[in-house]
Amino acid sequence: MTADAGLAALNAEIVGCRRCPRLLDWCAEVGRKKRRAYCEETYWARPVPGFGDPAARILIVGLAPGAHGANRTGRLFTGDSSGDFLYAALHRAGFASQPTSTGRDDGLTLIDAYITAVCRCAPPDNRPAPVEIAACLPYVAREMALLSELRVVVALGRIAFDGVLRLCEAVSAPPVFAHNAWSRIRPRDGGAPLWLGASYHPSRQNTQTGRLTGVMFDSVWEKVKANLEDDS
């Protein structure tokens, strides 16, 4: 099975996942009540699959769909301020075809990158329970296995970083979460060593307070390109 076919089958499985009743109920409730600005839209309101290039060398791991972002649009980091910040940076770095992401049919494609999350359903208060993350992490492991060209993983936020480490082991010193800190890891179920980079999450709280600036975020993607060149 090709990576393209394997990821398509996995994504269909993710959309149909029913492992976490609390999250499913919350996604549906948000989709019924809606936000006033989107009251005429039909919300996706179910688990959100991964998205990107099946030949990607870069895996970007987020936390979870936004209640009125990906839970509305059906695509990760799409339709909210976190996605605006992320895709603008990916476009500047040459990893996205356009700097904006408003919906699944907006024409955006990722170049050499694939986006996933440690939790596929929008959680209340943006805080999935540990048991809910544990239920979703096998999907990330399967994505990593299907992305046969994978060389670099970028974890957006501490929870995503910790989730990746549950699936991998350190090659040398234990990885430490810090913005634009890098280490070498290896998937626990086998595979070649990977670069793991950490970044502050591009949440509105981080970007509006200056904890994460555009310059800081760009530095992460420049390091991604440098690590890809080192592994080539």
- The number of beta carbons lying within 10 Å of the beta carbon of residue 185 is 21
Options 3.30.70.940, 3.40.470.10, 3.20.20.140, 3.40.190.150; CATH of 3-231: 3.40.470.10
Report pLDDT digits (tens) over 214-229.
999 999 999 999 999 9
> Which pLDDT tens digit goes with each residue over 85-97?
999 999 999 999 9
pTM listed for this prediction: 0.97
Q: Helices then strands (H, E): number in the chain?
A: 8, 7
| CA–CA distance, 212 with 143 (Å, rounded to integer) | 28
The Cα 46–Cα 25 span in angstroms is 9
Residue 232, pLDDT > 70, answer no
Q: Is 126 helix (H, G, I), strand (E, B) or coil?
A: helix
- Sorted by where each begins, the domain ranges of the chain are 3-231
Token pair listed for 123: 């959680």
Q: What is the 3-state secondary structure (H, E, C) of 56-117?
A: CCEEEEECCCCCCCHHHHCCCCCCCHHHHHHHHHHHHHCCECCCCCCCCCCCCCECCEEEEE
